[in-house]
């Protein structure tokens, strides 16, 4: 009777590969680092000082 409510208990989130950014923060592969805004060593989110 305990089966009810157990299904998909682990399937809520899409399985992703956790990679560590060059800044040391754990992020997802194929995703921009939320900490420094870089993706694969590239600055993809322009900060105030990234581009004049």
Residues lying near Zn ion in the complex (CB under 5 A) are found at 21, 23, 25, 33, 35-36, 38
For residues 28 and 36, which CB has a smaller minimum distance to Zn ion in the complex? 36
CB of 32 to Zn ion, least distance (A): 9
Query: Residue 4 or 35: which CB sits closer to Zn ion?
Result: 35
- To the nearest whole angstrom, how small is the minimum distance from the Cβ of residue 14 to Zn ion? 21
Q: What is the DSSP letter of 44?
A: -
Secondary structure of residue 39 in the 3-state scheme: strand
- The DSSP 8-state label assigned to residue 15 in this structure reads P
Q: Which residues contact 13 (CB under 8 A, 6 or more apart)?
A: none
């Amino acid at each position: 009777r305990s089966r009810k409510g157990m299904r998909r208990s682990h399937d809520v989130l899409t399985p992703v590969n956790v990679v560590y950014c060059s800044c040391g923060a754990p992020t997802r592969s194929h995703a921009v680092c939320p900490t420094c805004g870089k993706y694969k060593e590239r600055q993809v989110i322009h900060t105030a000082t990234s581009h004049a």
